Structure 1
Amino acid sequence: MNSKKYPRTYHLPWSPGATSDDKIAAFIDQAIGQPIIITEKLDGENTCLNQHGVFARSHAAPTQNPWSSYLWDIHTRIHYQLDELEVFGESLFAIHSITYTGLQQYFYVFGMRQGTVWLPWEEVVMYADLLDLPLAPVLFEGTVQNEAELKALIDGVLREPSEFESLELGIEVPKEGAVVRLATAFESDDFDQSVFKWVRANHVQTDEHWTRNWKRAPLEHEWIQQQLKKNNRT
């Protein structure tokens, strides 16, 4: 097996959540005047499904983490269709720093790689549909003409709550951030010039310690049931 883990994503220059350990993009020319996609940056575990198995950040060996066990059922269903296609998504089964109240499922696709090429967004959408996998929420699809326009756009969408905030519950759920990527295909060697992220200030960075007492994230219908039970007791 010859599969490389998901590359490090550089922060946009004005990303308030960048730390001293993060990489910040020196320039973002590729995102200006070209079709881009902005998706919600979800607070979970970056996970890859390919024909060989289910992988977390490391691709040295398939993951055996208990919070990833549900993904093996998905892998069993789709692996024979993948061939050289690698599906990358955010696994939200375990709660990290943000507790989502509007989840319908746990795995949301944000990119696909075939060999050394990251597929264009339209193909990501097509394959996700064929594989019956949901996509990370798209916040913007189009073109911006300068950095100031991109900054204003991201500032605007980040003022809104997470797309996975339940409309049935009065519980605020912030967005962790946003990811900007070229809508067109690009080579892995150009990843640092083709994908950028914005992370909110003071976002709690989860580390290995969260795994000691991890909890499953309730789906939206479970949140609603919990709220009904709570209301019935009062």
Structure 2
Amino acid sequence: MKPPVLLTRDKFRESVFARDNHLCVLCGAPADDAHHIIERRLFQAPQEKGGYFVDNGASVCEPCHLRCEQTVVSCEEVRDACGIKRIVLPEHLYADQPYTKWGDPILANGQRIRGELFFDESVQKVLKQGKVLDLYTDLIRFPRTYHLPWSPGMNDDDKMMQSLAAFEGEEVVITTKWDGRNTTIYPDGRLHARSPDGRPHHSQAMVKSEAARFSFDIPPGWRVCGEDLYAKHSIAYDNLPSFFLGFQIWNERNECLSWDDTLEWFELLEINPVDVIWRGTFDEKTIRALPLPNPEGWEGYVLRLARSFSYGDYPRAVGKYVRADHNKLGVVHNWRTAKVTPNQLAEKS
């Protein structure tokens, strides 16, 4: 299948109407609008800007358009009504994940995860009109982290940052990337790996115990993200400061705190943070030349803006470097069924 073609706004409307015979695909009335099945603001990369793809459009009348915006009519129903076989998504979203019009992931049980536009005033208004806000869980999927252009350890399903413009002139922080399990912890002690609907694993018992120590001090609506390092993945550790190392904190507005505020909260919560390798004004040449201080112990490093940023800005505000040989280190591919090999903490002096 050929890749979708990005059109101009006018050509998008014209092409969608022509395909649908200028009729609303949902009720058959004369069409008033060319509806974006997935919200155009979610398409941010230059090659997809605005989401003006024919397969992301549907001809609708005004009443049906409102129902689509309210997400009372699902994206799947709209595509079926149009006869669309190709699902067009912004490149930072996951192809195997169903989404609402606003980019909110939909779980297998029908619950929705608050996406990057959830707190937008206009989105809140239309979702309230549709009476669907009670479908949302307060658990939030950890966003996809793109590889930096010079990262050699990409897999087939990984994505690379196409532009570093968001870093230009900004202070950035580079932290160690550890080989563990990405974990998000909430004020009530609930936790999950990258996705809230991921299956729990018995190796999470240690991080659950760790979360119980500080979770009640996390402000309401906030969440702490870090690396669960109890179980060995590809790299064995024998000198860990703790089995959980924090790297991000998100507030009730789904904004990632600045690095300085993050460290302040980690100190209050008594969470060990990941190590800082470098901090300064972004300079690609300098960063590319950085040696890994401990190349045998780290998976790589993470580059982030030092200031705070929104969930929607994450794909442009954070990038990762993964060492070339990381995926050749004897990783246990069926680690869920394999025997857990614990990493080791540093001896207390």
Normalising by structure 2, report the TM-score.
Answer: 0.56
CA distances 1:103-140 after superposition (whole Å, capped 9, x unpaired): 12110000011132111111110110000000011111
**Aligned residue in 1 for 2:244:** 107
> Among 189, 194, 197, which residue is 2:320 paired with?
197
**Aligned residue in 2 for 1:48:** 184
Residue segments in structure 2 that go unaligned for 5+ positions in a row:
1-136
> Among 111, 115, 130, which residue is 2:268 paired with?
130
**Aligned residue in 2 for 1:221:** 347
* 8 Å Cα contact 1:32-1:147 kept in structure 2: no
* 8 Å Cα contact 1:67-1:94 kept in structure 2: yes
What is the letter of the counterpart of residue 200 of structure 1?
A: R
* 8 Å Cα contact 1:41-1:175 kept in structure 2: yes
Cα shift at 1:60: 2.9
Does residue 28 (structure 1) correspond to residue 164 (structure 2)? The answer is: yes
**Aligned residue in 2 for 1:175:** 298
Does residue 81 (structure 1) correspond to residue 231 (structure 2)? The answer is: no
What is the letter of the counterpart of residue 84 of structure 1?
A: G
**Aligned residue in 2 for 1:143:** 281
1:207 & 1:190 partners in 2: Cα distance? 33
* 8 Å Cα contact 2:184-2:224 kept in structure 1: yes
* 8 Å Cα contact 2:234-2:332 kept in structure 1: no
What is the letter of the counterpart of residue 27 of structure 1?
A: S
> Among 9, 16, 19, which residue is 2:145 paired with?
9
1:29 & 1:201 partners in 2: Cα distance? 25
SS at match of 2:289: helix
Normalising by structure 1, report the TM-score.
Answer: 0.82
- My pick for the range that moved more, 183-192 or 208-217, is 208-217
What is the letter of the counterpart of residue 324 of structure 2?
A: A
2:207 & 2:346 partners in 1: Cα distance? 19
Cα shift at 1:207: 6.3
SS at match of 2:223: strand
> Among 294, 313, 317, which residue is 1:161 paired with?
294
SS at match of 1:110: strand
2:238 & 2:208 partners in 1: Cα distance? 24
SS at match of 2:319: strand
1:129 & 1:218 partners in 2: Cα distance? 23
Does residue 210 (structure 1) correspond to residue 332 (structure 2)? The answer is: no
Does residue 58 (structure 1) correspond to residue 195 (structure 2)? The answer is: yes
2:275 & 2:339 partners in 1: Cα distance? 28
What is the letter of the counterpart of residue 239 of structure 2?
A: G
**Aligned residue in 1 for 2:95:** none
Cα shift at 1:208: 5.2
Which structure would you say has the larger Rg?
A: 2
Superposition RMSD on alpha carbons, in Å?
1.9
> Among 280, 288, 308, which residue is 1:185 paired with?
308
**Aligned residue in 2 for 1:170:** none
Cα shift at 1:64: 3.8
Cα shift at 1:55: 1.1
Shift >4 Å, 4+ stretches: 205-208
**Aligned residue in 1 for 2:77:** none
2:216 & 2:307 partners in 1: Cα distance? 26
* 8 Å Cα contact 2:153-2:327 kept in structure 1: no
**Aligned residue in 2 for 1:169:** none
**Structure with the larger RCO, 1 or 2 (CA within 8 Å, 6+ apart):** 1
* 8 Å Cα contact 1:49-1:75 kept in structure 2: yes
Percent identity (aligned): 32
- Paired residues in the alignment total 206
